[in-house]
Chains A and B, each alone.
Chain A
Amino acid sequence: MSSLISLIQAAIVFGTVILFGSTGEILTEKSGNLNLGVPGIMYIGGIAGLATAFFYESHAAVPHGIVGLLLSLIVSFAAACVAGLIYSFLTITLRANQNVTGLTLSIFGSGVANLFGGSLNNMAGGVGQISVAVTSRAYRAYFPALAGLGPVGKIVFQYGFMVYLAIIVAIFITWFINRSRVGLNLRAVGESPATADAASINVTKYKYLATCLGAGISGLGGLYYTMDYIKGTWATDGTIEKLGWLAVALVIFASWKAVRGIWGAYLFGLLFWAYFYISGLTRASSELFKMLPYLVTIVVLIVVSLRKRRENQPPASLGLSYFREDR
């Protein structure tokens, strides 16, 4: 029983990282921009938040958790937006190839983050491991009263606030895309920019905004990973990158619907951690289990392409740049 509860908890925590990543990417892709820089953006979001918390904690006389939290949250979001802005400028204004730009952004983001992460570890001195305990504790705070409500309390309430934020953002993005006027326009931009343009929608503006804000949301995944998942430290083991690609896979799995991404993310978490709770696995066979999320994504891709439902297809102009006077 308790191992089942801890599996579910592990799955939800794991899922939250990729849920942020995929929700942001869904917003981006709805504008027709295929940003494969999600891993890099999550790296940048993570390191920006961590560095902010570190400098705040080392400069403030009495660091306060909530202040550290707010500062790191804002800076992390903004830094990830800037990463999205770089991508937008290259692909929308200069009309560079989206795949190449996205992949390059991934490499760039991981390089930058690990460079600064390493420096931070050096600056922290001591055992050579940075720690932002005060801020991290604020990220991980939950209501003990609610979490004490037996197994249900543990499964539902024993998490930091970002777990719930991820769900709220995913639901809001879904509502925004499907029910609001601006969301309708955004969908049109991603499906057929020429149509959107003829309907007097500012295609460039929509693409820029969706891509930058989408990157900001994706970046929160990296922030959650550093602040909550690994408790305010920095690890150069490349886990964020792995999670970033899973987030991209989740976009496909959820067939571009952010709400579907919520349970998809937790399912990925369950599949990913399942090996840990199955006894008698060797090292090699546990690695096989870790492949499950990718296998499931492939299966979903096959099923979706067989069923050919138009609602489950990617935005029609995904990956293409738009220029009005193209003949």
Chain B
Amino acid sequence: MRVIVAGIGYRNLRDHSVGVMVTDLLESRRWPEGVVVEDLSYGPIAVVQRLEDDPPERRPDRAVFVAAAVRGDRRPGTVTAYRWDAVLPSPELIQGAVCEAVTGVIALDNTLVVAQHFGALPEEVVVVEVEPDNHEAGETLGGVVGEAFEPLCALVTRLALDHSAAGRLPVGPLGGPLPPVNAR
């Protein structure tokens, strides 16, 4: 099975850089044949073209995306992992995502929506996202996201290597399956 682990986010933007900080770290590790770790934070359209460039025999079967995402309904530092249901929004919202994509917005949601719209994603898309706390410019993670960093790297590694672990994740929309009301 071929797997791509992709970090998404801006650098120098504190907690919002966590995705690329994870892939920066994991890239330096030794991975089995068929697993690649990449910073895919260079714009969704370019990411689509990068994924399309792989010859069919090298295209991944699973993509594991890791990024910060503001959902607002969970505590900062919360890590959510799920298999994306790949349901696309309306064409108007897809065009909005393309507009954002080509004008410099690098974010988990628009990367997934644009890549899915253009058919560039593999069938299985695993998302690991973190609720950020610090939103300002800076090179370091904030307290709660900093504490979550090591377990996050371990989780992403496991989801890249352990097929059954990935397969046991719930399927849900962007942001993850809705938790019980009392947990929100």
| A and B: bona fide binding partners | no
